[in-house]
Amino acid sequence: MALKTKSWDASEHLDSEEMIFAYINAAFEEGNPALVTAALGDVARARGMTQIAKMAGVSRESLYKALSADGNPEFATIMKVMQALKLHLSVSKADDTEDCENHSEVRLSA
């Protein structure tokens, strides 16, 4: 008998500001740009892609494409989406002992 699976969509589980903040923050802490892009897409879908696109000043189709698995959004687009989500980034200096290639400290605040 074949194992039956059900697709899982993170956007269906991002139902509070605290959950959204923790999810985006965890993506940034991983340091993987593709993961950050995917997380922003999940949050945009959770909040309403049309509304986020409008607030970011881009078309809904463009935003779907930019935040898709194959998307490669410009940094300006990421910043517009972050602003539309009422989030902003702040940067702090890394310890001299940290491996700068694999870690960067970015703090998110709502």
For 1-33, write each residue's pLDDT tens digit.
Answer: 889 888 888 888 899 999 999 999 999 989 899
Other beta carbons within 10 angstroms of residue 22's beta carbon come to: 13
Structural domain range at position 56: 16-91
Average of pLDDT values for 79-95? 87
Q: Answer whether residue 10 is part of any domain.
A: no
Provide the CATH number for the domain around residue 54.
Answer: 1.10.260
Q: Answer whether residue 5 is part of any domain.
A: no
Q: Answer whether residue 4 is part of any domain.
A: no
Q: Return the C-alpha torsion angle 17, 23, 25, 26, nearest 10.
A: 160
For residues 101 and 47, the model is more confident at 47
Q: Answer whether residue 110 is part of any domain.
A: no
Q: Answer whether residue 107 is part of any domain.
A: no
- DSSP letter for 109, please: E
Average of pLDDT values for 67-82? 93
pLDDT (0 to 100) of residue 98: 58
CA-based angle 94:35:64, to the nearest 5? 130
Helix (H, G, I), strand (E, B) or coil at 108: strand
- Tokens encoding 67: 């935040």
Q: How many domains does the chain have?
A: 1
